[in-house]
Every structure is written in C-alpha cells, then in structure tokens.
Amino acid sequence: MVLVTKGVNINTKWGEFDNPPLNEAVVKGHVNMVKFLLKQERKAIHHKNVHGWTPLHTAAVYGHFEIAKILPAKKAGIDTKNNDGDTPLKLAEKNGHTKVVKLLLKHGGR
C-alpha cells in the first residue's frame, strides 16, 4: 500500500503469467489488499493475465469465497470467458468450490 502512495503503477504486470496486482492479491487470498486495489483502480476488476483470467476467474479457481463475494458487487464480469472459453462458474465447478459455485449462480453465472 505504501508503494501506491509513492506513485508506483498498480497496473504493472509481473511473473510467469503476467498477473496484474489485483490477480496476485486474489491468488494469495489477501482480502484487504483486494479491497484496497479496487479503490485505487476500478478498472482493475477487468484486467486479465496471459491466460485471460480476470480476478473473478482467479478467485473461482482458488475457491476464495470472501473475495468472490466482493467482485460481483464491483461489476466483475460474471460470464467473462478466459482464453480456454471457461467462465468463472465453470472453473469453480471444475475445482470443486461449491460455495463459490452457489455464489456465482446467485449472481447469474452461466
């Protein structure tokens, strides 16, 4: 958080998958960091990594229910497809994350 106040670009991608910072926070399950990054950059919710994963895809794969609850309220694309044609719902189903599946269905996921 200190880096952002010092002017560091929060949209810089890094790592093997060119993850945007928001995706990295989701991977690690850092709820407070996710909230912070969304306040700094609203469009970050739509940023994708090299596989076409948005933060919601990432939350679905890792089963991060608390984060998955935040993202639809911030206008995350419920039915956005990744490079393989998978939606967040499909990824949550594939990985056995029942709570996330129910949540995405509640928000109209297909």
Those residues with Cβ within 8 angstroms of residue 106's Cβ, 6 or more apart along the chain or in another chain: none
- Domains: count for the chain: 1
**Does residue 11 lie in a domain region?**
no
Question: What average pLDDT does this structure show over 47-72?
Answer: 92
The pLDDT confidence band at residue 49, using thresholds 50, 70 and 90, is confident
**Does residue 3 lie in a domain region?**
no
* Spatial distance between the Cα atoms of 1 and 83, rounded to a whole number of angstroms: 31
Which stretch, 35-39, 44-48, 98-102, has highest mean pLDDT? 98-102
* Spatial distance between the Cα atoms of 28 and 88, rounded to a whole number of angstroms: 17
**Does residue 38 lie in a domain region?**
yes
The pLDDT confidence band at residue 3, using thresholds 50, 70 and 90, is very low
**Does residue 57 lie in a domain region?**
yes
| pLDDT at residue 41, as a whole number | 76
Read off the CATH number of the domain in which 49 is found.
Answer: 1.25.40.20
**Does residue 55 lie in a domain region?**
yes
Residue 91 is part of which domain span? 16-106
**Does residue 2 lie in a domain region?**
no
